[in-house]
């Protein structure tokens, strides 16, 4: 049954891909084994999945990746980007990359974390103080991460970063006591579900695409995410408060299907790797520029920002979750946990 579902999903992806080409007046993508022309780059099409809207910092960074690759390859390497989660959930995206229906993808705990679950330890609650700290931590473990990804069929090329994640709520929250029994939407990753539960809230897992309506109907009282996500997905339209507890800084790992990567020429690999590096730096730059403006925009839209008076209790409540989670995932989980703990104050 799972095999049939996966085959249906792959077929949908390919249909969408063909429709996109027809809509743009393009020709079908050349075979990845086609010979290169005079500039040395083989003629290929890279399919890149994006769960978020095009005008998020990640979406803009993907467009930057496309621009660099297509320009520097003289148009031989084309990049088709599927923005806005049109290919389904994060799980759908990572499965598509696993079977080769997508070459490029960035994903977190509900994506690459399904295959390398130890990566979720980076998202231990109340660990980092800045994106710069998170980037430093990820880069220090590059070799370990790339090895683990390749064992599962993925090549690590870099990461985007989000953070801090805050809580958008329709109920006023100033202390841990106010969180008790709060219906809080959680991503499907266990470390989120367990951390929310440890705070005393009711963790409700659901796809991102269901969050807006669920806030509207009262199916959930709150959701958590970055200011960028809350703004771009317009979740603030169904919220009243943002609680600035800064619980997670999140890495979103940029990966390539390993079989497809190994079929590329060294020249193409070098170009793609450099494009990912430049777009990652670009994403961090525009992310930092956007955060302050988006906060002002949310205040203007009527959102009230709140701080918590007893944050040390929140930290203490979730400490064991991270430790227990890391303990399940062997040497890599422990290595990540030790790095994460080194940043905790």
Task: Say what the pLDDT of residue 189 is.
Answer: 79
Distance CA 101, CA 260 (A): 10
Which of 135, 122, 61 is CA-nearest to residue 287? 61
Q: Give 310's contacts (C-beta < 8 A, 6+ positions apart).
A: 175, 176
Q: Give 5's contacts (C-beta < 8 A, 6+ positions apart).
A: none
Task: Say what the pLDDT of residue 20 is.
Answer: 45
Task: Say what the pLDDT of residue 28 is.
Answer: 43
Instruction: Say which CATH number the domain at 230 has.
Output: 3.40.190.170
Read off the pLDDT of residues 189-206 as tens digits, 9 standing for 90 and up: 788 999 999 999 999 999
Longest Cα–Cα distance of the chain, Å, equals 67
E strands, 11-64, in order: 44-49
Q: Which two tokens stand for residue 247?
A: 């619980």
Q: What is residue 230's DSSP assignment?
A: H
Q: Give 18's contacts (C-beta < 8 A, 6+ positions apart).
A: 28
**Phi, psi (rounded to 5 degrees) for 196:** -65, -45
**Structural domain total, the chain:** 1
Task: Say what the pLDDT of residue 151 is.
Answer: 98
Q: Give 256's contacts (C-beta < 8 A, 6+ positions apart).
A: 103, 104, 154, 155, 157, 272
Range of the domain at 109: 2-343
Full-model pTM: 0.79
- List beta partners, residue 242: 168, 305
Task: Say what the pLDDT of residue 38 is.
Answer: 65
> What is the per-residue burial (b if ≥16 Cβ within 10 Å, else e) of 96-120?
bbbeebbbbbbbbbbbbbbbbbbbb
For residue 231, count CB atoms less than 10 angstroms from its CB and return exposed for 0-12, middle for 13-18, buried for 19 or more: buried
Read off the pLDDT of residues 142-196 as tens digits, 9 standing for 90 and up: 999 999 999 999 999 999 998 999 999 999 999 999 999 999 999 877 889 999 9
- Sequential pLDDT tens for the chain (345 residues): 444 444 444 434 543 443 344 334 444 444 443 344 567 899 999 999 999 889 888 999 999 999 999 999 999 999 999 999 999 999 999 999 999 999 999 999 889 999 999 999 999 999 999 999 999 999 999 999 999 999 999 999 999 998 999 999 999 999 999 999 999 999 877 889 999 999 999 999 998 889 999 999 999 999 999 998 899 889 999 999 999 999 999 999 999 999 999 999 999 999 999 999 999 999 999 988 888 899 999 999 999 999 999 999 999 999 999 999 999 999 999 999 999 999 987
Distance CA 267, CA 49 (A): 23
């Amino acid at each position: 049954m799972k095999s049939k579902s996966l085959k249906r999903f792959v077929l949908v992806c390919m249909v969408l891909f063909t429709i996109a080409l027809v809509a743009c007046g393009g020709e079908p993508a050349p075979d990845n084994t086609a010979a290169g022309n005079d500039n040395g780059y083989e003629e290929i099409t890279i399919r890149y999945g994006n769960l978020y809207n095009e005008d998020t910092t990640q979406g803009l960074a993907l467009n930057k990746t496309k621009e660099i690759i297509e320009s520097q390859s003289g148009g031989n390497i084309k990049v088709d980007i599927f923005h806005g989660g049109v290919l389904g959930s994060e799980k759908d995206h990572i499965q598509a990359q696993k079977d080769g229906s997508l070459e490029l993808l960035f994903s977190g705990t509900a994506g690459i974390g399904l295959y390398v679950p130890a990566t979720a330890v980076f998202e231990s609650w109340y660990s980092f103080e800045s994106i710069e700290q998170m980037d430093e931590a990820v880069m220090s473990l590059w070799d370990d991460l790339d090895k683990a990804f390749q064992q599962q069929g993925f090549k690590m090329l870099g990461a985007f970063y989000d953070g801090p994640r805050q809580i958008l709520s329709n109920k006023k929250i100033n202390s841990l006591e106010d969180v008790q029994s709060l219906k809080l939407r959680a991503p499907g990753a266990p470390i989120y579900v367990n951390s929310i539960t440890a705070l005393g809230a009711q963790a409700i897992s659901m796809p991102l695409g269901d969050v807006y309506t669920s806030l509207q109907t009262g199916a959930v009282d709150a959701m958590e995410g970055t200011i960028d996500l809350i703004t771009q997905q317009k979740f603030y339209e169904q919220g009243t408060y943002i609680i600035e507890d800064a619980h997670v800084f999140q890495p979103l790992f940029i990966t390539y299907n390993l079989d497809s990567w190994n079929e590329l020429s060294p020249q193409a690999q070098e170009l793609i790797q450099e494009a990912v590096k430049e777009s990652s730096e670009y994403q961090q730059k525009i992310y930092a520029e956007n955060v302050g403006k988006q906060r002002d925009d949310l205040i203007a839209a009527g959102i009230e920002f709140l701080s918590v008076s007893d944050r040390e209790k929140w930290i203490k409540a979730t400490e064991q979750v991270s430790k227990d989670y890391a303990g399940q995932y062997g040497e890599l989980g422990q290595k990540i946990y030790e790095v994460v703990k080194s940043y905790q104050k």
